[in-house]
Chains A and B, each alone.
Chain A
Amino acid sequence: MNGAQHILEAFHRHNISTVFGYPGGCIMPLYDALVDDATVEHVLCRHEQGCALAADGYARASGKLGVCIATSGPGATNLITGVANAHRDSIPMLVITGQVPSGLIGTDAFQETDVLGMTLGIVKHSYLPESIDDLPAILEEAIHLAQSGRPGPVWIDIPKDVLVATSSPQPMQIPKQEKPTRPDIAEAMRILRSAKQPVIYSGGGVSLANAEAAFREFAKTSAIPSVVTLKGIGNGGKHSANHLGMLGMHGSRAANRAVDESDLLIVIGARLDDRATGRLDTFAPNARLIHIDADAAELNKLRPAAASLGGELNGILAAFTAELKARPLAISNWQRQCRTWNTTGGFNAADNEEPLTPITGPAFVRQLSRTAPDNTVIACDVGQHQMWVAQYYEFDHPRHHLTSGGLGTMGYGLPAAIGAQFADRNSTVINVAGDGSFMMNVQELATINRYQLPVKIIILDNQCLGMVRQHQELFYDNRESEINLDDNPDFVAMARAFGIPALHIDRTDQVRRSIETILAYDGPMLLHVAIARENNVWPIVKAGAGNRDIIDETRRPAKQSKESIA
């Protein structure tokens, strides 16, 4: 059995049935082995970045390991953005690249790059096997590591001579499963019982730990008002009574207000990212913290916690729930106050149903949310449309909302949607893109056409880099710089050139029917939606400002007084 066959053997052992890749010189032995393999489906994307982001989307939608494969040199460097994306959002991923033969490493050989060195900061761990004898154990350890504790990408860079060298299969040592840590919650419970205005602040760690059910039980039993980070959207389900929406830079007034006035934040699977907290020294000034996370290094990292609970979320949340079932909290005044704030400061934009008016992003997304089936997966790109989806689409589950949170990778949505569609060929998957982001991985339209994936693509086209334009308008005295995209290609013609039918709309009275049309179509379809250039995402907190200094359209700063915003 050669090195390449050992890799496939590891895939079989771990039920890895779908991988995303692109062949090339040094990885050819693995592609040769794939010819004879009937169980692993290899998805050929059209750029290695597409492979990595598709593997990321596959992992997020399914909860399984995402796998991507590329060759040495440019193949590996093209993966880097996608792997960094997975690293920042803690997505379980196995990355396999070919490397020049061992004897040529360090000689500046053709397509040689120091992949191990250049990727150290974007992986959970990485390997460069020096011998075929090391490879089986490395594969086993890598697959385990990528999915254990706080998940993340693990990269194996394999010299070509190791891929073709042979060794006999050996009995595999399965890495030991660590016993989940169950910290004592007594002190945290005492702090919780003494709080009068507690808020649950949950993030992406809930679904990474497969703790959605335990979280919902805790949220329901405690009835504590809750907010979510961008990656925590969907944690509480669609109809969560005390939920106030997303907090932070583009969070709801209600969510930011409740956090600002709370006396206790119960932070669950979140890391107090600056986009959520705003200026940290003014964030939730009266609140103590109970911080629950799988990664001990996140506890006390940015703000000291009164109680730090590192470990497995399911067990910890279940322990809280049991205590609260025995003796509920008495916080009805606070609950009532938060509900009032949610009524006046939640994401409840007025319906925009008047015909012939220009379409707005929020109104379109609200209609999409009402029309699409409950289990629809939305894969966003990055920018204004991403925030409108976060604000106005009602998600029933965090795995239905694929978004590039930590890295903010434009071009994420299309390949992520491809990955999500491979995770479940029968699910409804929609890529909501902006015109800027869409062009960053547009080559993946060919992948959708090749595999006839029924992915729907919606481009909210404002003919500019809208989020950058908005910041230039508000914080740079309206001095527009390199944001104009009014020479965009004809997206409808472009989709058709890839064999994908497409529609164009530009009026409000076309919105509902066009959404129904693309959803009913039995195949891939693109909907090009023209929106006004001037639409902004509201509210907004200026980068570096405190969340209390939230700006909405009615309190829009005068263009000449940008200093007063700071």
Chain B
Amino acid sequence: MNPQSQTDAPSYTITCQMSHELAALERLCQVVRIRGFRIAKMAVEAADNKLDIALTIQGSRPIAMLQTQLEKLQTVARVELKQPALKAATASQIA
């Protein structure tokens, strides 16, 4: 599957708390990509040796699969799904 072609794939917002270690963000982004999602928006805030990340991502695979894979990263403390899936078209209409 080529995530780049998933223009009508569902969109999700997840938040992730992780330790602020070397390559922490690279690990996160790599897992998102390899598990079939693309990042539409990303906000990162570093505080107290921790990273708080809000991600809007798009992909047609089950989001639960990405969540469990992200939770496997040693640097990740918590992953939360903030909103249910929205169709990209609906999301853009809202915007």
Q: For the complex, what is the distance from the CA of A127 to the CA of B71, rounded to whole Å? A: 18
Kindly supply a per-residue 1/0 record for chain A positions 116-160, scoring 1 wherever the CB is within 8 Å of any chain B CB and 0 otherwise. 110011001111101000000000000001000000000000000
User: Hey, which chain A residues are within 8 Å of B68, CB to CB?
Assistant: 296-297, 299, 301
Stretch at the interface among B7-15, B21-29, B44-52: B21-29
Q: For window 95-135 of chain A, which residues contact chain B by CB distance below 8 Å?
A: 116-117, 120-121, 124-128, 130
The interface residues of chain B, by DSSP majority, are classed as helix
User: Hey, which chain B residues are within 8 Å of A116, CB to CB?
Assistant: 22-23
Q: For the complex, what is the distance from the CA of A354 to the CA of B68, rounded to whole Å? A: 56
Contact of B71 among A120, A125, A297, A299 (CB under 8 A): A297
The interface residues of chain A, by DSSP majority, are classed as mixed
Q: For window 47-80 of chain A, which residues contact chain B by CB distance below 8 Å?
A: none
User: Hey, which chain B residues are within 8 Å of A145, CB to CB?
Assistant: 74
**A124:B23 contact, CB within 8 angstroms:** no
**B64:A128 contact, CB within 8 angstroms:** no
Q: For the complex, what is the distance from the CA of A500 to the CA of B22, rounded to whole Å? A: 47
**A120:B74 contact, CB within 8 angstroms:** no
Q: For the complex, what is the distance from the CA of A116 to the CA of B21, rounded to whole Å? A: 12
Question: Given A300-B64, A301-B65, A120 and B72 touching (CB < 8 A)?
Answer: no
**B30:A121 contact, CB within 8 angstroms:** yes
CB distance from A362 to the nearest CB of B (A): 38
User: Hey, which chain B residues are within 8 Å of A117, CB to CB?
Assistant: 23, 26
CB distance from B16 to the nearest CB of A (A): 15
Contact of B74 among A125, A128, A296, A297 (CB under 8 A): A125
Question: Given A121-B30, A145-B74, A126 and B23 touching (CB < 8 A)?
Answer: yes
Q: B34 interface residue, CB < 8 Å from A?
A: yes
Contact of A120 among B23, B64, B65 (CB under 8 A): B23
Question: Given A295-B72, A297-B69, A300-B64, A120 and B27 touching (CB < 8 A)?
Answer: yes
Q: For the complex, what is the distance from the CA of A121 to the CA of B28, rounded to whole Å? A: 11
| B68 nearest CB neighbor, chain A only | A297
Inter-chain CB contacts under 8 Å: number: 31
CB distance from A126 to the nearest CB of B (A): 7
Kindly supply a per-residue 1/0 record for chain A positions 345-374, scoring 1 wherever the CB is within 8 Å of any chain B CB and 0 otherwise. 000000000000000000000000000000
Kindly supply a per-residue 1/0 record for chain B positions 50-74, scoring 1 wherever the CB is within 8 Å of any chain A CB and 0 otherwise. 0000000000000011001101101
| A304 nearest CB neighbor, chain B only | B62
CB distance from A97 to the nearest CB of B (A): 15
**B65:A128 contact, CB within 8 angstroms:** no
| A157 nearest CB neighbor, chain B only | B22
Q: For window 297-329 of chain A, which residues contact chain B by CB distance below 8 Å?
A: 297, 299-301
CB distance from A119 to the nearest CB of B (A): 10
User: Hey, which chain B residues are within 8 Å of A299, CB to CB?
Assistant: 68
User: Hey, which chain A residues are within 8 Å of B30, CB to CB?
Assistant: 120-121
CB distance from B72 to the nearest CB of A (A): 5
User: Hey, which chain A residues are within 8 Å of B22, CB to CB?
Assistant: 116, 127-128, 130
**A297:B23 contact, CB within 8 angstroms:** no
User: Hey, which chain B residues are within 8 Å of A124, CB to CB?
Assistant: 74
Q: For the complex, what is the distance from the CA of A231 to the CA of B26, rounded to whole Å? A: 31
User: Hey, which chain B residues are within 8 Å of A295, CB to CB?
Assistant: 72
Q: For the complex, what is the distance from the CA of A125 to the CA of B27, rounded to whole Å? A: 10
* Residue with the greatest number of chain B CB neighbours at <10 A, chosen from A120, A128, A296: A120
CB distance from B60 to the nearest CB of A (A): 15
User: Hey, which chain A residues are within 8 Å of B23, CB to CB?
Assistant: 116-117, 120, 126, 128
CB distance from B5 to the nearest CB of A (A): 20
CB distance from A85 to the nearest CB of B (A): 18
* Residue with the greatest number of chain A CB neighbours at <10 A, chosen from B64, B65, B68, B71: B68
CB distance from B69 to the nearest CB of A (A): 5
CB distance from B94 to the nearest CB of A (A): 30
Q: For the complex, what is the distance from the CA of A128 to the CA of B22, rounded to whole Å? A: 7
CB distance from B15 to the nearest CB of A (A): 19
Q: For the complex, what is the distance from the CA of A116 to the CA of B74, rounded to whole Å? A: 15
**B72:A297 contact, CB within 8 angstroms:** yes
Q: For the complex, what is the distance from the CA of A124 to the CA of B56, rounded to whole Å? A: 25
User: Hey, which chain B residues are within 8 Å of A297, CB to CB?
Assistant: 65, 68-69, 71-72
User: Hey, which chain A residues are within 8 Å of B26, CB to CB?
Assistant: 117, 120
* Residue with the greatest number of chain A CB neighbours at <10 A, chosen from B22, B30, B64, B71: B22
Q: For the complex, what is the distance from the CA of A301 to the CA of B72, rounded to whole Å? A: 13
Q: For the complex, what is the distance from the CA of A145 to the CA of B71, rounded to whole Å? A: 15
| B72 nearest CB neighbor, chain A only | A297
Q: For the complex, what is the distance from the CA of A301 to the CA of B34, rounded to whole Å? A: 14
CB distance from A131 to the nearest CB of B (A): 12
**A121:B34 contact, CB within 8 angstroms:** yes
Q: For the complex, what is the distance from the CA of A19 to the CA of B21, rounded to whole Å? A: 28
CB distance from B13 to the nearest CB of A (A): 21
CB distance from B23 to the nearest CB of A (A): 5
User: Hey, which chain B residues are within 8 Å of A128, CB to CB?
Assistant: 22-23
| A124 nearest CB neighbor, chain B only | B74
| B62 nearest CB neighbor, chain A only | A300
User: Hey, which chain B residues are within 8 Å of A301, CB to CB?
Assistant: 65, 68
Q: For the complex, what is the distance from the CA of A121 to the CA of B27, rounded to whole Å? A: 8
User: Hey, which chain A residues are within 8 Å of B72, CB to CB?
Assistant: 295, 297
Q: For the complex, what is the distance from the CA of A300 to the CA of B30, rounded to whole Å? A: 21
A-B contact pairs, 21 of them (CB 8 A): A116-B22, A116-B23, A117-B23, A120-B27, A121-B34, A124-B74, A126-B23, A128-B23, A130-B22, A145-B74, A295-B72, A296-B68, A297-B65, A297-B68, A297-B69, A297-B71, A297-B72, A299-B68, A300-B64, A300-B65, A301-B65
> What 10 additional pairs, Cβ within 8 angstroms, besides A126-B23, A145-B74?
A116-B22, A117-B26, A127-B22, A128-B22, A295-B72, A296-B71, A297-B68, A299-B68, A300-B65, A301-B65
Interface residues of B (CB under 8 A from A): 22-23, 26-27, 30, 34, 64-65, 68-69, 71-72, 74
Q: List the 5 shortest-distance A-B pairs measured between CB atoms, nearest first.
A: A297-B68, A125-B74, A297-B72, A128-B22, A297-B69
